[in-house]
Amino acid sequence: MPAIKHAEAAGRFIADEARTNWHDETLWFVRQKRDKAANTIPGWEALREQASQIKDHTLSNLDNYLIEFEARAKANGVQVHWAGDGKEHNEIILKILRNNHIGQIVKSKSMLTEECRLNHFLGDNGIEVTDTDLGERIVQLRNETPSHIVLPAIHLKKEDVSDTFNKFLGTEKGNNDPQYLTEAARGHLREKFIQSALAITGVNFAVAETGGFVVCTNEGNADLGAHAADIHIACMGIEKIIPRAEDLGVFLRLLARSATGQPVTTYSSHFHRPSAGKQLHIVIVDNGRTRQLGRPDFRNSLKCIRCAACFNTCPVYRKSGGHSYHTAVAGPIGAILSPNLDMKANADLPFASTLCGSCSNVCPVKIDIHNQLWKWRQVLTTEGYVSTGKKAAFGGMAYMFAHPALYRFAGKAGRWMMRNFPALFQIKRLNPWYQQREMPAPPKQSFHDWYLKNRNEHKTKNN
């Protein structure tokens, strides 16, 4: 089990009620923007279906498309590296840095590098890494991890950012003006861009037929880093491949609208080959993805384009905050991807869901997210990663539901106990459900008894 489980970490987050409400409302606002943007496109559902089918097809032919991509990229003068896991990914990057005598780099947003804990690894090896996405830089200065894959500092308010910049960038104490703070960050980051001879970016889409790739940002930081530096390393998971350049028209239309409600990401930059005298490297990473591909119930989670629409709509995510998921990718999709990486450490996450299905409804590539969360619960229970108490309780419930007479008896006994010994239900240790809830008044009768009585009375009246 992880050091802090989701429920416990969520408890800490919701202790600040005002912040929790603000977090919830802000993300719901983004979800509503997504709805408006989706409604502006006639055939939005057809577009989702097309994206889903392209990804299904690609996953079924992943080996071929990866080989095609590698061949085209190499022909374009790109140096292609393959990494089996996060450790290998980090070592490849360190080797490139050492070979080129580089000790300072800039990095734009890449959830893969978060997953591989690249910053930590490079820091331990004496490399200075500066995250250049504004939200990521804020959390990096605070020694935190991103809490959201598109809005990494969404758990923070402008007052928190002001305090952080005052401490690390020397801005005026108490000046919370977003324009002032953004300009301070800009000045600070420009220096880092100029000082760094190497830039790392993620990859949103890699096109097999061209060997090129696309990086999407709203701040232009990936472009500035990659163009100012002599060496550009792009890190991508194997699932980022799409077959043809024309498929980009489908995914780019879906991505920005699903993520933030924008018609298109501000910068969607296409990279194909290194500029004269410069180096372009691509590191293609597996890190458990082929294992997930081999799990029939979970393979289509690899269709994810990391838009975070499922985060913004999820009532549990909005109320519990991204750090409560204790993984690089939080939210509903993170709760599907992370048990594949470490079942024991992430066994709590598929239970952090109401299974309402809102995530599946908004997913632009039609991943059946809530079904997969439900299926993970079954796998984790079978594999023995669920507490004995929970397993016994659910076993008991299953037995009771399968025996109607016992179910009715338990209902009657429960109502009698609630009426005569209500204090028993309020012992917090025995009944955590009521820690933050009022106990309802016990009903006079069960629905079953009410139904039988009313049905009989109705019949008598009509005879």
156/369 with CB nearer ligand SF4:
369
Which pair of tokens denotes residue 300?
A: 């289509």
- At its nearest, how many Å lie between ligand SF4 and the CB of residue 353? 13
- At its nearest, how many Å lie between ligand SF4 and the CB of residue 385? 23
Decide: 103 and 128 in contact? Cβ < 8 Å: yes
72/109 with CB nearer ligand SF4:
109
Beta bridge partners of 284: 82, 236
- At its nearest, how many Å lie between ligand SF4 and the CB of residue 350? 14
211/331 with CB nearer ligand SF4:
331
- At its nearest, how many Å lie between ligand SF4 and the CB of residue 418? 40
225/339 with CB nearer ligand SF4:
339
CA dist 213 and 298 (Å) reads 26
- At its nearest, how many Å lie between ligand SF4 and the CB of residue 283? 22
303/377 with CB nearer ligand SF4:
303
- At its nearest, how many Å lie between ligand SF4 and the CB of residue 372? 10
- At its nearest, how many Å lie between ligand SF4 and the CB of residue 160? 25
Report the largest interatomic distance among the alpha carbons of the chain, rounded to a whole angstrom: 95
Which residues of this protein are in contact with ligand SF4, per CB under 6 A?
Answer: 258, 304-310, 333, 362-365, 367, 369
User: Tokens 């179910």 appear where?
Assistant: 407
92/367 with CB nearer ligand SF4:
367
CA distances to 118, 192, 211, 281 from 101, rounded to whole Å, are 18, 17, 28, 16
- At its nearest, how many Å lie between ligand SF4 and the CB of residue 437? 30
CA dist 161 and 223 (Å) reads 25
Decide: 366 and 48 in contact? Cβ < 8 Å: yes
34/232 with CB nearer ligand SF4:
34
Query: CB-side exposure of 169: number of CA atoms within 13 Å?
Result: 25
Write out the H or E segment, with its range, that includes residue 415.
helix 404-420
Decide: 20 and 322 in contact? Cβ < 8 Å: no
* DSSP track, 359-419: HHHH-TT---HHHHHHHHHHHHHHTT-S-HHHHHHHHHHHHHHT-HHHHHHHHHHHHHHHH
What's 213's DSSP letter? E
- Name the residue among 325, 353, 351, 323 with its Cα closest to residue 338: 325
Which pair of tokens denotes residue 311?
A: 């985060």
233/252 with CB nearer ligand SF4:
252
- At its nearest, how many Å lie between ligand SF4 and the CB of residue 214? 16
Q: How many CB atoms lie within 10 A of CB 91?
A: 13
- Name the residue among 123, 119, 122, 71 with its Cα closest to residue 95: 122
3-state helix, strand, coil in the chain (%, to 5): 55, 10, 35
Write out the H or E segment, with its range, that includes residue 83.
strand 79-83
149/235 with CB nearer ligand SF4:
149
